[in-house]
Amino acid sequence: MKGIAEIGFSQLLAAYVFLILLLVMASRQGIDKEKEIIVSALRMTFQLVLMGYVLVYILEFNSLLLSACTLFLMELFAVKNIYSRVKVEINPRLRRVIVFSMFTGTVTPLLYFLLAVINISPWYEARYFIPIAGMFIGNSMTGVSLGTERLIDSIKTKRELIEGALMLGATPKQAAKIAVNDAFTAAIMPTINSMVGMGIVFLPGMMTGQILSGISPLTAIKYQIAIMLGVLGSVSLTVFMLVRLGYKTFFNERAQLVG
């Protein structure tokens, strides 16, 4: 099998033609977004270059401690991203639930995946650990953002129904069930939907990468299927913990709906 063709510096520059194309179109149409486009492209370039060097270092050292620290940082950025993506105010208890759900909901399936599915030695081999952790955390982050937003919104708009249930002697769990299920569905649907089009409408990035680097497509799809199921597990687990613990933050110790 031949390895991937190296992209030279001038060839890489040639790829920026696409960016220039977009800028020209935007200014022709009077779409006032040039600044955002340039900033985004610069951020993309800078972040990836930085990540490239960091990854070279991490993969070379291949230490559990270093990988664990990287994982911790990724989780922190993901949580920060969730806080800023959710446009409504998140109560402090719900913020703690988000942190807890993200950490346990991604790390547990990650460990299972590395030990039982990939089964490599050492199990924390950075070449696997880091990218797989990235995919789990990234997808769970999207799920938790959607779930948090929907949970807050649903409890607000269904307030009458929830209080109506409480008046009839429902427990907070029974009363909030409608909002909890609503949030769970909204959060996992994108992941479910992405499975439908996979392989037909688009080739996932990871699989594309493996094929480009000369790996047999048959090996690549096995990885892709396993990863997709792992992502599904991680998203479901994080979102499930989020909604099942999260609804409680809207009730006080007298089982009254607050906030």
Taking the complex as a whole, the smallest distance from the CB of residue 150 to another protein amounts, in Å, to 17
**Footprint (CB under 8 A) of another protein, residues 237-256:** 254-256
17 scored as a contact of another protein (CB under 8 A): no
Strand partners, 245: none
Of positions 28, 169, 200, 201, contacts another protein by CB under 8 A: 169
Stretch that binds another protein, among 162-170, 192-200, 221-229, 231-239 (CB under 8 A): 162-170
Residues whose CB falls within 8 Å of the CB of residue 130, separated by 6 or more in sequence, listed in order: 55, 58, 59, 67, 70, 71
Instruction: Find the angle CA(6)-CA(216)-CA(129) to the nearest 5 degrees.
Output: 75
Residues whose CB falls within 8 Å of the CB of residue 62, separated by 6 or more in sequence, listed in order: 122, 124, 125, 126, 127
Stretch that binds another protein, among 50-58, 143-151, 171-179, 231-239 (CB under 8 A): 171-179
CA distance 149 to 159: 15
Q: Which is nearer to another protein, 143 or 172 (CB)?
A: 172
The CB density around residue 185, as the number of other CB atoms within 10 Å, is 15
176 scored as a contact of another protein (CB under 8 A): no
170 scored as a contact of another protein (CB under 8 A): yes
Sign of the torsion formed by the C-alpha atoms of 111, 117, 121 and 125: negative
Of positions 74, 166, 180, 207, contacts another protein by CB under 8 A: 166
Taking the complex as a whole, the smallest distance from the CB of residue 255 to another protein amounts, in Å, to 4
CA distance 147 to 246: 10
Binding mask 41-80 for another protein (x = CB under 8 A): ----------------------------------------
Is the Cβ–Cβ distance between 166 and 256 less than 8 Å? yes
Strand partners, 257: 251
165 scored as a contact of another protein (CB under 8 A): yes
Q: Which is nearer to another protein, 125 or 163 (CB)?
A: 163
- Residues within the interface to another protein (CB under 8 A): 160-161, 163-171, 174, 178, 254-256
